[in-house]
Amino acid sequence: MLYVVHCGTFKSFVMSLNGLIQVTGFQIAGDIVGLDGISTGLHQTDVVALEDTEVFVLPFLQCQQWSRESAYGQRHLMRTLAHEITRNRRHMLALGTTRAEQRMAIFLLDLSQRHERLGHSRFQLVLQMTRKDLGSYLGLTLETVSRQLSRLQRECIIQVQGKSLALLDFAALRRLAGVSSDCSSMTVDSIVDQKGNFLVAKRPT
């Protein structure tokens, strides 16, 4: 099953056998839940609603049929999957190369942008997730999350009041995030070498 979020917020997370949990994303209206199980029927990701929610249910079978019958449907499905992959890549980049403050800034900008795309304010939003969930998503402890938020508030970049949040200084946030927050505009193409060395050594004829 796929689930298309109609309203509300979800968190999705993976769990390892030894009980470790990593939140892999937060889904709001328009997002799709359950992509990872699309072929096997088995989900490796769990999902929990963070507030009252509504979803549309989309059975895999129907999805596959749609994809087979219409070029548009196929294209759309693959685009969605590919988008999920690049989204995850960007998050990995954040987890692997940035510090707590920068990660937080990237997250806030991303959330704001998604809110805006839904027709809501980009300044005023609600953090439905707990600090712990947010920490897990960002690869930080809940204390570090709390401290970062406090710090951003002290510097008058945001204003936090429990779960409600106001973004006061986008310029500062973007500066902290590095330009990297909008790397979605990247269109680097295909198999290219950094230094002009060999790329694809040979192609079998």
In angstroms, the CA 180 to CA 93 distance is 10
String of contacts with DNA for each residue 100-129, x by CB under 7 A: xx----------------------------
Q: Report the residue from 81, 147, 159, 169 that binds DNA according to the rule CB under 7 A.
A: 147
Using CB under 8 A, which residues numbered 54 to 113 contact its own copies? 54-57, 64, 67-68, 71, 74-75, 78-79, 81-86, 88-93, 95-98
Q: How far is CA 114 from CA 76, 120, 166, in A?
A: 20, 9, 15
Choices 6-14, 115-123, 124-132, 161-169 (CB under 8 A): range interacting with its own copies:
6-14
Q: Report the residue from 144, 169, 178, 180 that binds DNA according to the rule CB under 7 A.
A: 144
- Backbone φ, ψ for residue 92 (5° rounding): -60, -40
The site partner of 186 among DNA, its own copies, none (C-beta below 5 to 8 Å per kind) is its own copies
Q: Report the residue from 44, 113, 150, 164 that binds its own copies according to the rule CB under 8 A.
A: 44
The site partner of 149 among DNA, its own copies, none (C-beta below 5 to 8 Å per kind) is DNA
3 state DSSP class of 172: helix
106, 180 Cβ separation under 8 angstroms: yes
196 exposure class (CB count in 10 Å sphere: 0-12, 13-18, 19+): exposed
118, 192 Cβ separation under 8 angstroms: no
Measured at the alpha carbon of residue 183, what is the angle toward residues 80 and 127, in degrees to the nearest 5? 75
The site partner of 141 among its own copies, DNA, none (C-beta below 5 to 8 Å per kind) is DNA
Instruction: For residue 142, state whether it binds DNA (rule: CB under 7 A).
Output: yes
**Helices 131-138/100-117 angle, 10° precision:** 110
Choices 51-59, 112-120, 137-145, 168-176 (CB under 7 A): range interacting with DNA:
137-145
The site partner of 37 among DNA, its own copies, none (C-beta below 5 to 8 Å per kind) is its own copies
Choices 110-118, 124-132, 160-168, 181-189 (CB under 8 A): range interacting with its own copies:
181-189
50, 129 Cβ separation under 8 angstroms: yes
Measured at the alpha carbon of residue 91, what is the angle toward residues 127 and 179, in degrees to the nearest 5? 90
Q: Which residues bind DNA (CB under 7 A)?
A: 99-101, 130-132, 139-147, 149-150, 160-163
